[in-house]
Amino acid sequence: EDKVVQSPLSLVVHEGDTVTLNCSYEVTNFRSLLWYKQEKKAPTFLFMLTSSGIEKKSGRLSSILDKKELFSILNITATQTGDSAVYLCAPDFGNEKLTFGTGTRLTIIP
Amino acid sequence: NAGVMQNPRHLVRRRGQEARLRCSPMKGHSHVYWYRQLPEEGLKFMVYLQKENIIDESGMPKERFSAEFPKEGPSILRIQQVVRGDSAAYFCASSPDRTLYNEQFFGPGTRLTVL
């Protein structure tokens, strides 16, 4: 069965810190990996990664995929209180549905 | 360019009643997915539909739950004879007509509370 593990489960840091969130997966037929940010509402799309080693960047957020070691990381630099959310990774195993990890709950203390 | 729309945003039902949740995909998207998020849990896939077709319903409970995506109108997730355990947030996502990758965009969700 396809499996997704995110770590840490929760993380509390001070504003201005840099954080790294991890997502590892066991896969039968990997196609891409998506990252979402979820506050108290719908998941908001952040990145889609398809190729190993190519960093995607959006402002203070960046992400990279390692298809050989089966993991992805999401980095957030100079964190702000608005970054507080649950961050979800969701590999697409080529079967038309996304398999979500349990998420990392990030809390930024002012 | 409206995103994925869901209604109602909040729905309260008593045990035994029916719940109908609606989802209108983004313009140009013909693929709809329903996910359920129980309190303090992750998103779980329920069903994947294209217009007039159920493609994959492997995540949907066998009884009381059904989904449709008619030729005209929104996709509907229907829960009959609701029980307290059905209380959850139900999210709909849509993706464009077939591309190489499955990039899904989510609606705001419907929060169902069963009393």
pLDDT tens by residue, B5-49: 999 999 999 999 999 999 999 988 889 999 999 877 789 999 999
CB contact under 8 A, B101 and A50: yes
Measure B86 CA to nearest chain A CA, in Å.
18
Please report the pLDDT score of residue A94 as a whole number. 72
**Sign of the Cα pseudo-torsion (B100, B77, A28, A5, in order):** positive
CB contact under 8 A, B59 and A97: yes
Spell out the residues 6+ positions from residue B30 whose beta carbon is closer than 8 angstroms to its own. Answer: B50, B51, B96, B97
Largest CA-CA distance found in chain B, in angstroms, rounded: 43
Please report the pLDDT score of residue B99 as a whole number. 65
List, for residues B59-81, the tens digit of each pLDDT value: 999 999 999 999 889 999 999 99
Picking from A31, A34, A42, the nearest residue to B108 by CB comes out as A42
CB contact under 8 A, A88 and B104: no
Q: For chain A, say whether B25 makes contact (Cβ under 8 Å).
A: no
Picking from A43, A90, A92, the nearest residue to B101 by CB comes out as A92
Spatial separation of the C-alpha atoms in residues B33 and B97, rounded to whole Å: 13
List, for residues A53-107, the tens digit of each pLDDT value: 889 999 999 999 998 889 999 999 999 999 999 999 998 877 678 889 889 999 9
Residue to substitute from B43, B44, B48, B103, interface A, most A β-carbons within 10 A:
B43
Provide the mean pLDDT of chain A: 91
Ranking A7-11, A40-44, A87-91 by mean pLDDT, the lowest is A40-44
CB contact under 8 A, B101 and A95: no
CB contact under 8 A, A97 and B45: yes
Please report the pLDDT score of residue A97 as a whole number. 82
The closest alpha carbon to A37, from A109, A88, A101, A90, belongs to A88
Residue B99's CB: how many other CB atoms inside 10 A? 9
Q: How many helices (H) and strands (E) does chain A have?
A: 0, 10
Measure B30 CA to nearest chain A CA, in Å.
13
Residue to substitute from A98, A99, A104, A105, interface B, most B β-carbons within 10 A:
A98
Q: For chain A, say whether B107 makes contact (Cβ under 8 Å).
A: yes
Helix (H, G, I), strand (E, B) or coil at A84: coil
Between B101 and A32, name the one with better pLDDT.
A32
In contact, B34 and B47? CB cutoff 8 Å: yes
**Sign of the Cα pseudo-torsion (B35, B37, B38, B42, in order):** positive
Provide the mean pLDDT of chain B: 92
